Structure 1
C-alpha cells in the first residue's frame, strides 16, 4: 500500500517542525494558482472557473499518490494550449460540447498515464529529446503569448495555433484596439515582471489581479469597453461522470497521448530538478505516472481539465519551504475556500490582467541559452531544435511535437546506422592501440595489419555500412595485408542479419588469405558468437582479451596462455 500511496510513508512520521514550511508553501502556491488557473483556463478555451476546478481535486489525489514532496499539480500553460489546439481542430457544436470534450480529455490522458505507470513505461519520456522539447516549448510559448493579444488589445481576434495566421488576424483588428484594456494589460505585465525581478517572493499575479479589480470597479471601466471575467459560478464542482464520445475516440487519441507524455515530461523534469537540488532520492518515475494518471482521472469526475506539475509553482513551493505533500492539501483547501466564498470578487477582473499573467509566465519559457550552446557544440541537434521550433510555429502545436519526435528518432536511427569506426595504431613504446587520426605523431603502423574499432552494435541497419567501410580500408592497405584485428569492446549486440554478413565476410577474407581476429568481445557478444556458430568458424584461437595480445600473437606466433584462452572464449554456455 505504501508503494501506491506514498502518503502512508510520510504522514505517520509527520513532524510539527515541518508544518510552518508546508503552510507557507501551501498558501503561497494557492495564492499563485487562483489567478494562474483562471488565466490558463482561458488559454484552453474554457471559462475561467474551470482553472479553479483543475486546481482542487487533482492536488488532493497527487498528495495521496505522488512521490515528490514539492511538486505543485494543477493547470499549466503548455497543456492548456495543447487542449485548445487539439479541440480547436475538431468540429464541435458549441461551448457545452467543448467543455465536455476537455473534461473527457483529462479522463482519457489519465487512463493512458495510469496504464503506462502500471506497465512501468516511464522510459517513454526518453523519446522526448531535449532539443525537441526546447524548440517545441519556445515556439509554444510564443503562440500562447500571442494568443492573448485579443484580451490585451480588447478586440476580437480569430484564434489559431499557426503564427502567421495569428499575426495576420491580430494586424487586421488593430484598428479596434481598446486603449484602456491595452493600458491595463501593459501595466500588469510591467508590474508582474518588475516584482519578479525586484521581489521574487511577492505574489505579483495576485497583486495585479487585486489592482485590476479595484480599478475596473471604482472607475467603471467595464462601461468603457474593458472586457471583464463576469460572473464566476460559486461553489465546489459536483461529481459528474464525463461523457464518453466513442465516435471521437480515434480523433482524441493522438491529442490524449501527446498530452500524457508532455505532461509527464513536465512533471518529472521539475520534480527531478528539485530532488537533485535538495539531494534527495524519492521521485519514482513510474509511480509519478500513476499519480498523474489518477489525478487526471479523478479530477475529471469533478470537472477538471488536464493537469500536471507546474514549473513556476513548484519552484515557488520549494523556495517557500515545502517539506511534504501537506503543501498540496493546504493549497487545495485555499482554492476550495475561494470557490465557496470569493468567486463574486472576480466579477470585475479584467481579461487584460489575466492576459498579462499568461504572457509573463510563458515568455519565461523561451530558452535562448540552450540553442546557443547547441550551435557551438552540436550542429545536428541545433538543426533538430530549429526544425521543431519552425514546425510548431508554422504548422501547429500538435504537429510540432509529433514531427519533432519523429525527426529525433530519425536522427537516432541515422547515428546508430552510421556509427564511429576508428583505425587503430600502436603508440610507440607501449601496448596501447589508439585512433590514428587522434595520435598521428605518436602512432606506429604496420602494413600487414588492419586494426579496427567499431563503436556500436552490429545489426541489420548498419551491417552494410560496416562491410563497406571495412572493404575501403582493406583496399587502402593493399596486398601486404595479412591480419585484421577487430576491437569489439563497443559491440554489445549482433543480430542475425549481421551474423550472416560476418559469415560471408569471413569466407571472403579466407579466400584472400587474410586472418580475422576479434579482441575485447564482451560476454553477451561472445554468447552470440557461440550460439550462432560463428565462434567455430572464426576459431577460438582467434579470440583475444586485448588488442595487444592479438597483435603480439601474430607478430611472434605465440600461443595464448590458458588464462587468455579461457577468458577470451568464455560464454554463458561454457560455464554450465
Structure 2
C-alpha cells in the first residue's frame, strides 16, 4: 500500500525519508519566503506554495524525487512581468500573480493533453544556461541591495536596480551590512565544513535572535514583519479579460522554462536511479500544481533543481519529504507565524543570494567555451538580452537563437562521397585520391540530413562541385544514397529538380540507393524519385549494376 501511494518507499527507507523531510523544511521555508519577496508578494505566498501545490504534485508526478516549488527564475519572471501591470505589493498585483499561475497551469495541461513534452528540448542547454544566468543576476542585484539596507524599486529592470544600488550606497545601513556579512560567512563556510546541516535555518534563527536582543530594527534594519496566521484559503483571481490576455506571454515564458528544466531534471534522476518517468504525466502534474497555486494564494510553481539535488544527497528516493514539507508548513502557518515577524531582511537576502550563485552557470559557460565557441556566445547573448532588455524579451531572444542555431546546423549537413562498402571515404576506388570515381564513371553521394528549404540548394551545389572537381566527362552515373534523407519539403524538392536538370544537361544518369520503405511514396509525390529511376538496396549493388551497364554501352556513346 505504502509503495503504491509513494513509489520507492519501504519500511527500511522510512526513517531516512522522514529525516530528509525535516531537512527539506529547513531549506524550503526560508528560501520560499525570500522568493516571495523577489516576486513582490507577501511571505505567505511563498509558504502557501509549499502546501496545496506540493500535495497535488506529489500524487500526480511520475518523478520520485523532483521537488516542485517556486524558484529564483520564476520569482524574477513574476516580478518583471506583473510589475509592469501593477504596483508591487498592491492587491491587484497579487491577484494578477495568481491569475498568471493559473494560465501557466492551463498551458501545462494543454501540453500534457497534446503530448508536447518534446518541446522542452527546443530550448537548448546553452540557451537555458544563459537565460537562467540572466535572471539570477537580476535577482542577485536585488538581494545585494537588501543586504546593504539600500532601498530600490523591485519593479525596475536590471540596469535601474544596479544604478539605484550604487547611488543609494550613501544610505547603507551598517547593521544590515554586518548581519548579511555574517550570514554569508556562515552559509559558505558551514556548507563547506558540515554540508548536512541546514545552514539557512541556522542563519535565520541566529539573525532573528540577534535582532530581537539588540533591537537592531530600531536602528533601521528592515524585518519581515507580521505574517498572517492560518492555512491557505481557496480563492479565484477576478481581473478583467485584458489583464488575463496581458499575462499570457509571461505565462508562456514561465511554462517553457519550467518545462525545459523540470523534464530534464526529472529524466536525469530517473535514469540515474533506474526508475521510469513520464514527461507528459509530469506536465499534467505541473499544470495541476500551478492551478492549485493560483487558487490558494501563491504564484507560479516550477522545478527546484537545488532542493532536488539536496534531497538526492540525503539519500531520499521518494516524494515523502515533500509531504512532510507540506505538513510542516501548515503547522508553521497555524502556530508559528509570530516567530517569523522578527526575521531580518538582510539575512533573507543573504540566503537567497547564496542560493542563486550556482545559477550563474560559471562552470557551464567555461565548458561551453571549451567545447563550442558558437554555443558559448549563444548563451552569453541570451544572458545579455535577459539582463538588459528584460525577462520576456530574453525568452523571445532564446527562441530566435534556437531557430538560428537550428537553421545554421541544418544548412550545413555532412555530404559524403561513399566507398563501395557504404562507409564514407575519399573515393569509390580503393586507395584512389579524393574526388575520383569508379570505373564506369559512377559516383555515390550521401547527405546526412532531411532535404528541406535550409539545405536543398546546398546539396545540389555540393553535388555539382563534386562532379566538376573530377570532370563531368568522367562521370556517367550519380547514385544518391537516401538512407539519411528522412524527409523532404517543397523547397528541397525544387532544388533537387534543378539538380536533375543539370545532370540531364551533362548527360549523367541518376539512380538511388537505400531508400527508406516508408519514405518512397513521399519522395515519389515530391518528384524526387520518378518512374524509371533505378533504385538499389545497397550502394555496392548500384555500383556493380551501373558498371555492368557501362561495359555493355557501345564505345564512344554515353
Unaligned runs of 5+ in 2: 552-558
Q: 1:203 aligns with which of 198, 204, 208?
A: 198
TM-score by length of 2: 0.92
Cα distance between partner residues in 2 of 1:186 and 1:242? 40
CA RMSD of aligned residues (A): 2.6
Corresponding residue for 1:3?
Answer: none
For residues 375-454 of structure 1, what are the structure 2 equivalents within 5 Å?
Answer: 375-424=369-418, 426=419, 431=421, 433-436=423-426, 443=433, 445-446=436-437, 448-454=441-447
Indicate the SS of the match to 2:360. Answer: coil
Indicate the SS of the match to 1:485. Answer: strand
Task: Tell which deviates more after alignment, 134-143 or 544-553.
Answer: 544-553
Corresponding residue for 1:466?
Answer: 459
Corresponding residue for 1:356?
Answer: 350
Cα distance between partner residues in 2 of 1:438 and 1:484? 12
Q: Deviations over 1:351-385 (max 9, x none)?
A: 00000010000012222222222223322212211
Task: Specify whether residues 537 and 477 from structure 1 end up closer, same or farther in structure 2 by C-alpha distance, changes over 3 A only.
Answer: farther
Corresponding residue for 1:477?
Answer: 470
For residues 315-334 of structure 1, what are the structure 2 equivalents within 5 Å?
Answer: 315-334=309-328
Task: Tell which deviates more after alignment, 530-539 or 109-118.
Answer: 530-539
Q: Do structure 1's residue 41 and structure 2's residue 36 form an aligned pair?
A: yes
Indicate the SS of the match to 1:516. Answer: strand
Cα distance between partner residues in 2 of 1:52 and 1:438? 69
Q: Deviations over 1:304-363 (max 9, x none)?
A: 111122112112222333343332211100000011111101111100000001000001
Corresponding residue for 2:554?
Answer: none
Indicate the SS of the match to 1:131. Answer: helix
Q: 1:268 aligns with which of 254, 257, 263?
A: 263
Displacement of 1:494: 2.3
Corresponding residue for 1:237?
Answer: 232
Indicate the SS of the match to 2:332. Answer: helix
TM-score by length of 1: 0.89
Q: Deviations over 1:45-104 (max 9, x none)?
A: 112221111111111111221111222222211111110111122244861111111111
Task: Specify whether residues 360 and 93 from structure 1 end up closer, same or farther in structure 2 by C-alpha distance, changes over 3 A only.
Answer: closer
Cα distance between partner residues in 1 of 2:36 and 2:7? 36
Corresponding residue for 1:223?
Answer: 218
Please say if residues 47 and 329 of structure 2, whose CA atoms lie closer than 8 Å, have aligned partners that are also in contact: yes
Please say if residues 506 and 538 of structure 1, whose CA atoms lie closer than 8 Å, have aligned partners that are also in contact: no
Cα distance between partner residues in 1 of 2:367 and 2:217? 48
Task: Tell which deviates more after alignment, 395-404 or 373-382.
Answer: 373-382
Corresponding residue for 2:507?
Answer: 513
Indicate the SS of the match to 1:460. Answer: coil
Displacement of 1:19: 2.2
Displacement of 1:441: 6.7
Task: Specify whether residues 534 and 98 from structure 1 end up closer, same or farther in structure 2 by C-alpha distance, changes over 3 A only.
Answer: closer
Corresponding residue for 1:175?
Answer: 170
Corresponding residue for 1:491?
Answer: 485
Q: Deviations over 1:138-165 (max 9, x none)?
A: 2221111111122111121233664433
Cα distance between partner residues in 2 of 1:141 and 1:11? 33
Displacement of 1:440: 11
